[in-house]
Amino acid sequence: MAAKDRRGAVSMDAMPLVSVVVPAYNAAGSIGETLNALRGQAYRQPFEIIVVDNASTDDTAAVAASYGATVLRERKRGPSAARNCGLRAARGEIVAHLDADTLPSRRWLRDITEPFSDPDVRLVAGNTLCYPPKTAAERYVQASKLYDTERAIKREEFPFAPSLNLAVRRSAALAVGGWDEDMPTGEDVDFSHRILTRFATNIAYAPGAVLYHHTRADAGALCKQAWTYGEGAGQLYLRYPDELRWDVRKSAVLAIRLLDRCSRPPLCALGRALGIVPGEQLEFVRYQSLWDRHFWAGFFHMYLLRRRRFT
């Protein structure tokens, strides 16, 4: 049992070294704010900051170096390759990850590493919050709770710690082979699953490890994100066929759901014209329909094409 100080907080005196790994691709415009917030952490133990420049074509590496971060270069594109590069180089027993366009709160590092005072804890998820929305796409992401960490870690099937705000015991990450570099998205679901099954553990949640995140600001970017998330889900179905089986029941449920999602926008537009549906509801169902159509298109693009290739 870890010692507690007079205020009831777990003593951090015995905390091992922590490495913060930030994968970065063309992040020269945002990473300065992220690193500045990391340097200003209310964390009394030593920690290292590793920025993995993922073949950027801008000044990401120079900006990161100007903030005193250790800069590594990973030519293989993709956040998983960048995280693995950082994982291999990390000197800390605990590796914390955040994205290069996020803003960690002062206690982020302290709170996300605190659960590791329990030796059975392998994976910790932080509390990701979106900035107050300014566009319709951002409003949709908030309303749909796409980045709700508590929901992600409490899922019945494949609970996961979102990769933009997590910490993992380095030995555990290496024991499961690190991040899967063939998965452009959904890699955090896969990574969490391998950690949880290998060590028969749960994801610890650190609500005080608050990190602010910019969401996609326009419909085009949101559709592209939905497509890639769908592809990631398709890959998970291919990778874990015994646990995630696509069957007739799921097909029927999805067909009804898509029919519902596609019919709502015109119905709500009619209701809006008649003055019985508020504008925000119409906006929400339009984005919901866009999201679902692109997500499932991405899913079946991956699932059917890859499955055909392997059978």
Q: Give CA–CA dist 137/288, Å, rounded.
A: 10
Residue closer to other proteins, measured from CB, 44 or 309: 44
Closest CA to 262 of 301, 219, 291, 304: 291
Per CB under 8 A, which region of 51-59, 173-181, 232-240, 275-283 contacts other proteins?
Answer: 275-283
Query: Taking CB under 8 A as the rule, does residue 282 contact other proteins?
Result: yes
What is the 3 state secondary structure string of 116-129? HHCCCCCEEEEEEE
> Which of 36, 66, 171, 197 is in the footprint of other proteins by CB under 8 A?
36
Query: Residue-wise over 39-56: b if at least 16 C-beta within 10 A, else e?
Result: eebebebebebbbbbbeb
Residue closer to other proteins, measured from CB, 21 or 210: 210
Would you give the binding string for other proteins spanning residues 84-103, x where CB under 8 A is met? -------------------x
Please provide residue 247's backbone torsions phi and psi, each rounded to the nearest 5 degrees: -135, -175
Output the CA torsion 276→279→281→283 (10° steps).
Answer: 140
Q: Give CA–CA dist 214/196, Å, rounded.
A: 28
Side-chain-side CA neighbours of residue 90 (13 Å): 33
- 145-184 residues in contact with other proteins (CB under 8 A) are 145
Query: Taking CB under 8 A as the rule, does residue 112 contact other proteins?
Result: no
- 126-145 residues in contact with other proteins (CB under 8 A) are 129-130, 132-136, 138-140, 142-143, 145
In sequence order, what are the residues at sequence separation of 6 or more whose Cβ sits closer than 8 angstroms to the Cβ of residue 294?
223, 224, 226, 227, 230
Q: How far is the CB of 142 from other proteins (least distance, A)?
A: 4
Query: Taking CB under 8 A as the rule, does residue 210 contact other proteins?
Result: yes
Closest CA to 210 of 110, 282, 66: 110
Query: Taking CB under 8 A as the rule, does residue 291 contact other proteins?
Result: no
Per CB under 8 A, which region of 69-77, 125-133, 185-193, 225-233 contacts other proteins?
Answer: 125-133
191 close to 176: Cβ distance less than 8 angstroms: yes
Residue closer to other proteins, measured from CB, 187 or 283: 283
List 20's β-bridge partners, or say none: 49, 96
Q: How many CB atoms sit inside 10 A of residue 224's CB?
A: 13
Per CB under 8 A, which region of 17-25, 34-42, 168-176, 291-299 contacts other proteins?
Answer: 34-42
Q: How many CB atoms sit inside 10 A of residue 231's CB?
A: 24
List the 165-169 sheet strands across, edge first.
70-73, 47-53, 18-24, 94-98, 165-169, 123-130, 204-213, 102-104
> Which of 105, 128, 163, 185 is in the footprint of other proteins by CB under 8 A?
105
Residue closer to other proteins, measured from CB, 72 or 206: 206
Q: How far is the CB of 7 from other proteins (least distance, A)?
A: 7
**If binding means CB under 8 A, how many residues of this protein chain bind other proteins?**
39
Query: Taking CB under 8 A as the rule, does residue 212 contact other proteins?
Result: yes
Query: Taking CB under 8 A as the rule, does residue 4 contact other proteins?
Result: no
Query: Taking CB under 8 A as the rule, does residue 267 contact other proteins?
Result: no
Q: How far is the CB of 183 from other proteins (least distance, A)?
A: 28
Residue ranges binding other proteins (CB under 8 A): 6-7, 9, 33, 36-37, 40, 42, 44, 103-107, 129-130, 132-136, 138-140, 142-143, 145, 207-208, 210, 212, 219, 272, 279-280, 282-284, 286
